[in-house]
Amino acid sequence: MSLKHTIKAGTALAIILAFTSLSGYAASNDSDKAANRSTVSDTYKALNLFGDVFEQVRANYVEKVEDKKLIEYALNGMLTSLDPHSNYMNDEETKAMMVQNRGEFGGLGIEVTMENGVVKVVSPIDDTPAAKAGIQSGDLIVEIDGMQVMGMTLNDAIEKMRGKVGTEIVLTVVRQGAKEPLKFKLVRDTIQIKSVRSHVENGNAGYIRITTFNAQTFPGLQKAITDIKKEAGDKLIGYVLDLRNNPGGLLDQAIQVSDAFIDKGEIVSTRGRNPDDMRRDNATPGDLTGGMPLVVLINSGSASASEIVAGALQDHKRAILMGTKSFGKGSVQTLFDVPGGGSIKLTTARYFTPSGRSIQAKGIVPDILVERAKVVAEKDPYSEIHEADLKGALANPNDKVEDPTLLPDDAKAVTTTTTTTTIVPAADATKKDADKDKKDADNTKDDYQLMRALDVLAGISLYKGSDGAVAPVDPMAKDAPEKK
């Protein structure tokens, strides 16, 4: 047998073994054997085709490429073709992701995806080199250190943006409305994500911003609520939970954050490929805020875990949602280890809010729609990106039937129709002064959406004892038992 055929046979055999292991091709009973034999035969033919292409690239490509790299590219091509969130990660990338989930990693601080061959910014992370340099949601990164992004995989682009802390990198960005590409010089840094920030607004409103969902998020939320109660005391009228530009993160943290404000009922359900692959997570007794009014801010940068929290609080009528429609990522990714230290991130389920709705490619519509204060002459298609805009995005399962399948009555919140109110900021809108004693609140007067959220809290406090969706409570009332 020639070397060429040996390589092809070895490559095909290795992939067949992996394919069989992951897909479970073995026949479960006699009636399935004929169909499975046909399927396996077709699979062998396709893998022979892969072997032919692999050998052609290996032998004739203009530059020599390591066999390992070619296999990685093939794996990435297979996974990224499924949907925008599935991909293969080598050993280094897997370790980097683990570090990120712990709340610390090296890089620029941007959440990105691949769209039409270039890197698209989903959202910059607060207080990172990218955010400080002025990178915005919707920016298209077309060059990295002068190298064209077109032709790179998403992992290649991310790898080039990573590097030694303290080194410089130049990103060339195309931004809608800009006459020519913009160049940003950034210095790589260790990204230490403080996922929760908080302060008291106007002396009586607790402001809590969650920037991402990592292992530090729920402990940070507990501390934030404790600090706000201590500072505001009897004057506290409620809380604003800011999830804007939060790209998501760990599912368990989203569940714990939701549970912090909900006493009972379902928080989220996940449903996989098989009908039996369904999981439901329910709230436990207790509300860290003692049931005080809550306003949640979202926008197109609020994705995944952020949408789980927003959806649960909206369905349970626990909070008023304000801002603009969320991103619409309603899928769950699971990490599978593979030989060699790498892993594959594979979409394995969709999640559903307590009322049984999937927000996949649809997003969550706020109860009160509040646009950004800056009014543009024409709609900017790059100013807000949603899951439905991504190539290969999963369809929303609720679109396949007239009525979505709801969960059993004892495990779901009551489904109601929410009236959406739109607030358009006036050009001469009067802005209140922020709390000048808090550095974090210095820019509040420039944040139109936050100003309107604070107005809603103030309005609720004037009608104590009303029968609104979010019932105001006496700030002097004894708090419910806190969750640990």
Where a domain ends, among 174, 192, 210? 192
What is the pLDDT, as a whole number, of residue 464? 62
Do 410 and 443 fall into the same domain? yes
Which residues are part of the catalytic machinery? 304, 315, 329
What is the pLDDT, as a whole number, of residue 462? 85
User: What CATH number does the domain containing 145 carry?
Assistant: 2.30.42.10
The answer to whether 328 and 386 are in contact (CB under 8 A) is yes
Determine, yes or no, domain membership for 209: yes
Separation of alpha carbons 473 and 453, rounded Å = 17
What is the pLDDT, as a whole number, of residue 425? 41
**pLDDT range class, residue 422, cuts 50, 70, 90:** very low
Q: Work out how many domains the chain is built from and give that number.
A: 3
Position with higher pLDDT, 3 vs 48? 48
Separation of alpha carbons 206 and 260, rounded Å = 15
What is the pLDDT, as a whole number, of residue 103? 67
Determine, yes or no, domain membership for 97: no
The answer to whether 270 and 359 are in contact (CB under 8 A) is no
Determine, yes or no, domain membership for 399: yes
Query: Which pTM was predicted?
Result: 0.66
Do 225 and 311 fall into the same domain? yes
Q: What is the pLDDT of residues 111-127, one digit of tens each?
A: 888 888 899 998 888 78
The answer to whether 141 and 149 are in contact (CB under 8 A) is yes
The answer to whether 247 and 469 are in contact (CB under 8 A) is no
Q: Any idea what DSSP says for residue 93?
A: H
Average pLDDT of the chain is: 80
Q: Any idea what DSSP says for residue 249?
A: B
Do 17 and 128 fall into the same domain? no
Least confident piece of the model among 20-24, 162-166, 256-260, 310-314: 20-24
The answer to whether 57 and 11 are in contact (CB under 8 A) is no
Do 54 and 164 fall into the same domain? no
Q: Which domain holds residue 41?
A: 3-62
Q: What is the pLDDT of residues 345-380, one digit of tens each?
A: 999 999 999 999 999 989 999 999 999 865 444 444
Determine, yes or no, domain membership for 233: yes
Q: What is the pLDDT of residues 286-332, one digit of tens each?
A: 999 999 999 999 999 999 999 999 999 999 999 999 999 999 999 99
Do 255 and 350 fall into the same domain? yes
CB within 8 A of 454, min separation 6: which ones? 201, 202, 205, 240, 432
Q: Any idea what DSSP says for residue 305?
A: H
Which token pair is 28?
Answer: 């479960």
Do 264 and 155 fall into the same domain? no
Do 162 and 279 fall into the same domain? no
Q: What is the pLDDT of residues 189-245, one digit of tens each?
A: 987 667 999 999 999 999 999 999 998 899 999 999 999 999 999 999 999 999 999
User: What CATH number does the domain containing 376 carry?
Assistant: 3.90.226.10
Return the SS3 of 115.
Answer: strand
Determine, yes or no, domain membership for 87: no
Do 298 and 373 fall into the same domain? yes
Do 223 and 298 fall into the same domain? yes
Determine, yes or no, domain membership for 8: yes
What is the share, in percent, of the chain residues with pLDDT greater than 70?
75
Residue 39 has pLDDT above 90, yes or no: no
Where a domain ends, among 30, 46, 62? 62
Do 317 and 235 fall into the same domain? yes
Determine, yes or no, domain membership for 86: no
Partners of residue 169 on adjacent β-strands: 186
Task: Indicate the length of the chain as a whole number.
Answer: 484
Do 345 and 437 fall into the same domain? yes
Separation of alpha carbons 23 and 33, rounded Å = 15
Pairing mode, strands 343-352 and 266-272: antiparallel
Where a domain ends, among 192, 227, 252? 192
Do 210 and 185 fall into the same domain? no
What is the pLDDT, as a whole number, of residue 183? 95
CB within 8 A of 450, min separation 6: which ones? 201, 207, 240, 242, 297, 444
Determine, yes or no, domain membership for 292: yes
The mean pLDDT value for 33-40 works out to: 71
The mean pLDDT value for 270-293 works out to: 94
